[in-house]
Structure 1
Amino acid sequence: MQKEELQKKLQEAYNKRYKTIEKRVSSALHDAQLDEENLSLEEIKTIANLFIEKETQQLEDDVEKLLEQKEAIERALEKKSEELQEKKYEVFHALEEEFAADKTVLVKLHQIKLQSIDLYDILSEMVESAIITALEKDSDGDITEPTKEVIKEITFESIKEGSLNTIRVRKILSTILATAIEVAEATPNRAEEILSATLKGMRSGLIQSIDRFKKRLAYMPVEAKHILIEDYDTIIEDLNQTDTLFSQVVVTQASESSQMIRKILIDLNSAMQYDLEELVHISKETAEVMKERFSSLAKMAVKKADSALKSPKAKEAKRMGIQAFSVAKEALGQAIKSAKDAIDKK
Structure 2
Amino acid sequence: MWLENVDDRSLADTDGGGCMMAGNSRDAVKVSLRAGSDGWIETPGLAFKVLCFGESHSKDAPIALFVRADESVGDRIAGRRTHETTVFTTVIEGSLELDGRWCKPGDFELAAAGAPHGDVVIGPYGATYMMLFGRRSGLIPSYLDPGDQRVFDATLRGPVERVASGQDESAVALLHLRENFTPRRGIKVTNKQWVDAGKSPPPPEHPGLFFSAVDDDSLNWGPPILNARTSLVVVGAPDDPHAPVVGCINVGPGPGDRLRSRHIHGADAVNLVIRGAVYMDGVWLRPGEAKIAPGNVEYGDGLAGPDGMDFFEIWSDLAGIMPTYSDPDDHAYFEQFRAKGHGEPQHLLPA
How does the TM-score come out when normalised to structure 1?
Answer: 0.21
**Could you say which structure has the higher strand fraction?**
2
Which structure is higher in RCO with an 8 Å CA cutoff and minimum separation 6?
1
Larger Rg: 1
